[in-house]
Amino acid sequence: MTAENEDYTEDELLEVESGDGENSGLFEHLSITVDKKQDPLRIDKYLQVFRQNSSRNKISQTCRAGNVIVNGVPVKQNYRVKPGDEISVLLAHPPRENFIIPQDIPIKIIYEDDDLVVVDKEPGMVVHPGHGNWDRTLVNALAYHFEKIGTKSDLDRVGLVHRIDKDTSGLLVIAKNEYALSYLAKQFFDRKTKRLYWAFVWGNVEQDEGTITGHIGRHVKNRMQMAVYEDGSHGKHAVTHYKVIERFRYMTWVECKLETGRTHQIRAHFKHIGHTLFNDERYEGHIPLRGQNLPKYKQFIHNVFEILPRHALHAHTLGFIHPVTKKEMYFESPMPPDMDAAIKKWRNYLEK
């Protein structure tokens, strides 16, 4: 979900901040039961009646990507609808879209072709216009970039496939046409992409590697947080695999692999096991872990917070199958300067 209009509820706005979980996947735009008196008709022609703003070509591309579902099964554009068919149309963007103003904002593009672009997002940049951030976003920057290079596209928007938080840095893939958007979104929905995150978390994570499992849903008291419900009473099933890269006595550098993609998944899961993300104010990670017998520890943490003034989370790798060539694409983003500086400061401090 993206923030499109000012009338979103607070709960909906929380879903907008897709965070480390990215809220990637597909949105149901249509759910139709075919009338009992309907004559057999190609589904691309049939759906034009319900999607008046979509060309037959766009509908065909959606079918090709496997995102038109009939009775639970993806169908091609030449499928003939029958009375009683249950049809769902899944698209990679929410039903409502906001007008995007192109803005000349520097962004780091690490790959681009006729179908997609891969961006290494800087921390502090909001991905999509929304509540409190109506411009100066990655989408505004991409709209300007596409306009400048004269990109021809059948999309009437910037084709976001997934999202990360404002303060999360790292890799994102953006589609440049309807087919690429649907094809890539299906890979995220089916969990076939390859993504690793780097995170700094408070405390010494005891196990060298492990798995955190627990349903993630909105916190019952703090609606701007997500919480973990181990009994499955609320939220959605979520699994995070992690591996320790380096320990800093009171902070640990971990690599995370998401088996699912829930809102704030890494942030909520690590808080749940007592290792909140370093300097994550929303989840109380800005409160220093008590340091025992370390000289000038409080001042040291304050200095690290100044170097790294955001939660320590970075989308390090991204792998997917190209929608047209069908070749595997793989990208890596190096440690961002603020996180790298924080690591060096920890190492120097503990060596003294």
Q: Which residues are catalytic?
A: 165
Cα separation, 322 vs 74, in Å, equals 20
What is the residue whose two structure tokens read 């196990």?
A: 207
Return the ∠ at Cα 29 (arms to 236 and 115), rounded to 5°.
Answer: 95
Cα separation, 51 vs 32, in Å, equals 12
Cα separation, 38 vs 47, in Å, equals 13
Which string of DSSP letters, residue by residue, matches 5-70?
Answer: STT--HHHHHHHS-GGGTT-S-EEEEEEE--TTPPPEEHHHHHHTT-TTS-HHHHHHHHHTT-EEE
The first and second tokens of residue 7, run together, are 């009338």
Report how far Cα 275 is from the mean position of its chain's Cα atoms.
22
Cα separation, 37 vs 85, in Å, equals 12
Q: Please compute Rg for the chain using Cα positions.
A: 22
Write the burial class of residue 341 (CB in 10 Å: 0-12 exposed, 13-18 middle, 19+ buried).
middle
Q: Indicate the SS3 state at residue 327.
A: coil
Inter-helix orientation angle 297-307/337-351, to 10°: 160
In the chain, DSSP assigns E strands to 27-33, 41-42, 68-70, 73-74, 80-81, 86-91, 108-112, 116-121, 159-160, 169-175, 194-202, 209-213, 215-218, 226-229, 239-247, 251-258, 313-321, 328-332
Q: Indicate the SS3 state at residue 90.
A: strand
